[in-house]
Amino acid sequence: MSEFVAQIRGRAAEALVWLREAQDTGDEYLVNVSLGQIESIARVAADHQIALEGVAESLSAYGLPVPQGPRGATA
């Protein structure tokens, strides 16, 4: 695994922990900040075809789209 992939996965895992803590304490501001971080990290991961555990489920739970593949790509 490259250093880049390790960093992206580490940042995603950290943001997911923040999200869980925010949910547990009822901190809506931190929930929103965490979701923004997760969404941003997921976009970078999707652009580089990096799989991330738990990210799609967390975004979907809040009705947020899960980034798919490189931006500008056509199917």
Q: Is residue 46 part of a domain?
A: yes
Taking all residues of the chain, what is their mean pLDDT, rounded to a whole number? Answer: 92
Instruction: Express each pLDDT in 49-60 by its tens digit.
Output: 999 999 999 999
Q: How many domains does the chain have?
A: 1
Q: State both tokens at 9.
A: 């996965």
pLDDT of residue 69: 78
Q: Is residue 35 part of a domain?
A: yes
pLDDT of residue 75: 40
Instruction: Express each pLDDT in 8-20 by its tens digit.
Output: 999 999 999 999 9
Question: Percent helix, strand, coil in the chain (nearest 5)?
Answer: 65, 0, 35
Whole-structure pTM value = 0.85
Q: Is residue 74 part of a domain?
A: no
pLDDT of residue 54: 94
Please tell me the distance from the alpha carbon of residue 56 to that of residue 37, in angstroms, as a whole number. Answer: 13
Show contacts of 69-74: CB within 8 Å, 24+ apart.
70/46, 71/43, 71/47
- Could you tell me the residue range of the domain that residue 13 belongs to? 3-61
DSSP-derived secondary structure letter, 6:
H
